[in-house]
Amino acid sequence: MGGGSVSECKEFLFKVLVIGELGVGKTSIIKRYVHQLFSQHYRATIGVDFALKVINWDSKTLVRLQLWDIAGQERFGNMTRVYYKEAVGAFVVFDVTRGSTFEAVSKWKHDLDSKVKLANGGPIPSVLLANKCDQKKEGSNNMALMDNFCKEAGFLGWFETSAKRYDPFGSQILCYEGD
Ligand code: GTP
Ligand code: MG
């Protein structure tokens, strides 16, 4: 048989949403994850932004995560149905220093589940992110309560995150002020 050079590398493209109230840190989390950067400067996202994270999953698998960074103010608009289309996963973000952003998590989750479904009709998998944990007061996230909330609200799980301080992926941390 001829030594055909057919590549065995598989590629996947996944559309993943990042949603939650204004200023909770959606853009910052994405910027940290994709570019290893953090800025204190707040510039509200208008509509939607995009970022691509390419992951060499293993030697034969390439994963492209197309991250849809949806403006917090879009919860009050009519466009989320369009933005959510064909997404296969979502992160719902809240800010641990602002209780009102946690209260809005259920509203975002409901918006999500009512507007997008997997091909089999089920809800798309979603994970809750408790962001700005670098500013959290000790013990402010009750683990058992959060686990229970996730179960009842239909989240796969939750994680504390900080776009500012933590670097769970072990890459170099670069901070810059302003643009
Ligand atoms: P919208 O685009 O308006 O929906 O907001 P957003 O959710 O994209 O928030 P953004 O990422 O723009 O962050 C808002 C502010 O919070 C900025 O000033 C960020 O620097 C700050 N911020 C974001 N994440 C963190 C964090 O983990 N820790 C701290 N201390 N500040 C953060
Ligand atoms: Mg933003």
Q: pLDDT tens for the chain, 179 residues: list them.
A: 445 556 689 999 999 999 999 999 999 999 999 999 999 999 999 999 999 999 999 999 999 999 999 999 998 888 999 999 999 999 999 999 999 999 999 999 999 999 999 999 999 999 999 999 999 876 666 899 999 999 999 999 999 999 998 555 444 444 444 43
Give the integer Cα–Cα distance in Å for 25 and 133.
Answer: 11
Tell whether ligand 1 has an atom less than 6 A from the beta carbon of residue 134. yes
CA 169, 29, 38, 22: dihedral to nearest 10 degrees? -170
- Closest ligand 1 atom number to CA of residue 20: 7
Q: What is the pTM of this model?
A: 0.90
- What's the CA gap between 77 and 152, in Å, rounded? 27
For residue 178, how many other CB atoms are within 10 A of its CB? 6
Q: What is the pLDDT of residue 77?
A: 87
Ligand nearest to the CA of 39: 1
The best mutation among 21, 42, 48, 176 to test binding of ligand 1, ranked by most ligand atoms within 8 Å of the C-beta, falls on 42
**pLDDT tens, residue by residue, 104-132:** 999 999 999 999 999 999 999 999 999 99
pLDDT for res 137: 74
pLDDT tens-place string over residues 4-20? 556 689 999 999 999 99
- What's the pLDDT at 165? 87
User: In the numeric block, which tokens belong to residue 70?
Assistant: 């949806």
- Say how many Å lie between the CA of residue 17 and the centre of ligand 2: 12
Q: Do residues 26 and 92 make contact, with C-beta atoms less than 8 angstroms apart?
A: no
DSSP 8-state secondary structure symbol assigned to residue 76: G
Which ligand is closest in space to the CA of residue 161?
1
